[in-house]
């Protein structure tokens, strides 16, 4: 198998390993399983969506119509970074689909949420769940809402909110 990934175009992910023609490319099955295994997001959540790779390891989620391959600027939203040991979801996909998550969700209070949105790292030693990438959430208008992705290691939650998305918000 050649490394046929082309950074200039979108290629739809193969459904399964058996259909894969490009080395190292994630499959749809693996992406959906990742969200289910890591965050408890039911696979059916993604039934109407397709997944695409453009740029090595950068996975996009899309709900419209498109042929593969496709050379345009963007489809849907960036969703996941693969081709690395620990896959990493994006802030925007977590905000869009995070309400379906039941695992690896760390609930922050007002001040912790404010610091997280501002891009600050913070010691949160009370967390007794998994290490690695977590969904940081807080309560807004009576319901939990995902803020973004955090990396939890050694008692510290590091905000992965990209610089352009960070905001100084009222506590």
Interacting residue ranges for another protein, rule: CB under 8 A: 48-49, 61-67, 70-78, 90, 92, 95-96, 117, 140-143, 145, 147, 164-165, 167-170
Give, for 168, the enclosing helix (H) or strand (E): none
CB of 1 to another protein, least distance (A): 27
Minimum CB distance to another protein smaller for 154 or for 163: 163
In the bound state with another protein, the residue whose beta carbon lies nearer, of 61 and 104, is 61
Residue 117 CB, nearest approach to another protein (Å): 6
CB of 154 to another protein, least distance (A): 27
Phi, psi torsion values for 127, nearest 5 degrees: -65, 125
CA-nearest of 144, 140, 139, 147 to 166 is: 147
Find the radius of gyration of the CA atoms of the chain.
Answer: 17
Nearer to another protein, 7 or 153 (CB): 7
Task: Give the C-alpha separation, 76 to 152, whole Å.
Answer: 28
User: What CA–CA distance (Å, rounded) separates 131 from 75?
Assistant: 31
Least Å distance, CB 90 to another protein, is 8
Tokens of 27: 């499959």
- For another protein, the closer of residues 78 and 82 by Cβ is 78
């Amino acid at each position: 198998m050649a490394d046929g990934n082309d950074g200039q175009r979108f290629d739809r992910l193969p459904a399964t390993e058996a259909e894969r023609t490009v080395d190292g490319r994630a499959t749809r099955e693996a992406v959906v399983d990742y969200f289910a295994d890591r965050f408890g997001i039911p696979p059916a959540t993604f039934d109407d969506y397709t997944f695409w790779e453009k740029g090595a390891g950068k996975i996009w989620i899309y709900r419209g119509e498109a042929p593969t391959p496709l050379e345009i600027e963007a489809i849907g939203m960036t969703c996941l970074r693969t081709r690395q040991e620990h896959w990493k979801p994006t802030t925007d996909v977590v905000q869009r689909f995070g309400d379906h998550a039941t695992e690896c969700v760390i609930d922050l209070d007002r001040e912790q949420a404010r610091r997280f949105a501002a891009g600050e790292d913070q010691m949160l030693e009370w967390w007794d769940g998994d290490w690695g990438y977590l969904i940081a959430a807080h309560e807004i208008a009576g319901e939990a809402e995902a803020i973004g992705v955090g990396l939890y290691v050694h008692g510290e939650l590091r905000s992965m909110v990209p610089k352009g998305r960070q905001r100084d918000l009222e506590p």
